[in-house]
Amino acid sequence: MKQGKQTPKSSDLPIYLFRQGNNQEAYRYFGAHLCDQDGQAGAVFRVWAPHANAVAVVGDFNNWAPGDHPMQKVADGIWELFIPGIKEYDVYKYCITTASDELVYKADPYAFHTETRPSNGSKVYDIEGYPWGDEAWNKAEEKRDVINSPMSIYELQAGSWKMKDPENGVPYNYSELADQLVPYIKEMGYTHVELLPITEYPFDGSWGYQVTGYFAPTSRYGTPKDFMAFVDKLHQAGIGVILDWVPAHFPKDAYGLYMFDGAPCYEDPNPRRGEHKEWGTMVFNYGMNEVASFLVSSAMFWIEKYHVDGLRVDAVASMLYLDYNRRDGEWEQNSKGGKENLEAIAFL
């Protein structure tokens, strides 16, 4: 057994805030992070899997063998392991032993980078170190009257607005797309662009509204730093960037959030609240503090790490109303006898 090394006792503060629903930077703690420990370079992995009997890190580095790198439970439901020798772009997943002793293989909910479809593994990635050049934009934004300043927003889908090779379906990468987009936006007089979801998603034919990676820009168009370059180029041209963000629901893809450790973790466990059957998606459990920390951290992540200027929250009505797209008998009233999703309202 190729045991990794358990990290020294973790700080209690990130876990405490996570459990309170107040950790706005959970991505700094969870996921895969390159680091040095005891003079050895590698990565520390952390994942929340509260119903799991065991969790292991698997990947190309251990031939996907579940027994090689078992994680240690450092707190109730939180698993951790440092693995020496891990490098940037190494592909990995979590092999989770469920309460019924079945094995499920899951992508990292906090992954910064992913494989390109049809593969769906997570990639170790160093999110730091991009040489931003948008200081002038940021200083101007600090002084701008956001409420009263006029805005003209151009909405687009990154993969279909303009193709690098239309005949073969080859899109521009993020940086190239910015070079194509900036002169058009300037000519037309728009102040901002709004991108349909660029958070990782499984199906090319969709517009990205069924998200599988809440901390990863889709790898269809390049690396995370390529997307940083996209935002940077638009900012340097005086153009703001808004992202569509989808906290309303998520898909049932086997490698994603659905039944993450063999039981409902991210979704509402009540079948009359936890699924949008018309969309084939699951509804987040907004009353679960750990889920609230996950979603708020995702929102803050795009603002902090990618310098985006705003988020357009998708499908809000489906979050607010328990009877949304449900017939009589398919939903339950809230604790006050109404149809409002009180936990979702509190979350928003």
Please state the pTM of the whole predicted model: 0.93
Beta bridge partners of 91: 123
Do both 145 and 67 map to the same domain?
Answer: no
Amino acid at 340: E
Do both 166 and 308 map to the same domain?
Answer: yes
Do both 73 and 161 map to the same domain?
Answer: no
Do both 19 and 145 map to the same domain?
Answer: no
**Integer Cα distance of 318 and 275 in angstroms:** 11
At which of 100, 123, 146 does a domain end? 123
Do both 40 and 80 map to the same domain?
Answer: yes
Quick one: which of 212, 254, 225 has its CA closest to 89? 225
pLDDT in tens, 4-41: 655 444 468 999 999 999 999 999 999 999 999 999 99
DSSP annotation of 11: P
Q: Domain count of the chain?
A: 2
Q: Report the pLDDT value the prediction gives residue 6, as an integer from 0 to 100.
A: 53
At which of 123, 144, 168 does a domain end? 123
Domain-located, residue 128: no
pLDDT in tens, 76-123: 999 999 999 999 999 999 999 999 999 999 999 999 999 999 999 999
Q: Report the pLDDT value the prediction gives residue 291, as an integer from 0 to 100.
A: 98
pLDDT in tens, 194-245: 999 999 999 887 888 999 999 999 999 999 999 999 999 999 999 999 999 9
A 10 A CB-CB count for 109 gives: 27
CATH number at residue 167: 3.20.20.80
Do both 106 and 139 map to the same domain?
Answer: no
| Alpha helix (H) residue ranges in the chain | 12-20, 135-143, 174-188, 224-236, 289-306, 316-320, 342-347
Do both 45 and 179 map to the same domain?
Answer: no
Sign of the CA dihedral with 64 first, then 68, 74, and 75 last = positive
Phi, psi for 56 (deg, rounded to 5): -130, 155
CATH number at residue 22: 2.60.40.10
pLDDT in tens, 33-89: 999 999 999 999 999 999 999 999 999 999 999 999 999 999 999 999 999 999 999
**Integer Cα distance of 344 and 348 in angstroms:** 6
Helix (H, G, I), strand (E, B) or coil at 251: strand
